[in-house]
Structure 1
């Protein structure tokens, strides 16, 4: 009985993580076009801004499309999507830490990256 309860508990955990990493990237990605939740440009590392071949708002819209696609991949294939989201969040965190810019957000993104990585690992065992 405990094995069945453990399996069900693991499945519930996976479903919660999966819902989180489908909804959050899609909502954040869509918001890159509207800036209703925040003005996303402020989170760009100032060193990166000077290297961009496009405006910051155009760059953030490209980022938004990538985030929406990542959320859809999580929906379709949580294991692959989890690794993509984990890598994406880690890259964002590192870009903020390099300039010691929004370190609180960087730490939060690293925690979310660990959660996405955990989701990917769990999904490997739950089919």
Structure 2
């Protein structure tokens, strides 16, 4: 009987890497963070997340739904109404990426200053 090893994100074939990629993708982070506030219809979510194309939003939502983070509620009405919300698993992931997103916003000044220093040193050494 083979004993399976616990997931280790540092292992090249670990399935957690794909989950991490989905949750931390550019649009994945923004979708999860937005849905932490409330449920959204597709068009509302697209307006909330500036710059995302319809295609990318649809792909991101489908991926997050498949992974169990997002619930898609299609109501049988005319015109069709589809609402997206977080599952309990998605809420946990969203809280994690929300903290990272807020930290990132707070550190933009420091990152920009580091870039200027780096670029100045590189330009001087060429």
Using structure 2 for the length normalisation, give the TM-score.
Answer: 0.30
More helix, by proportion: 1
More strand, by proportion: 2
> Who wins on radius of gyration, i.e. which is larger?
2
Structure with higher RCO (Cα < 8 A, 6+ apart): 1
Using structure 1 for the length normalisation, give the TM-score.
Answer: 0.30
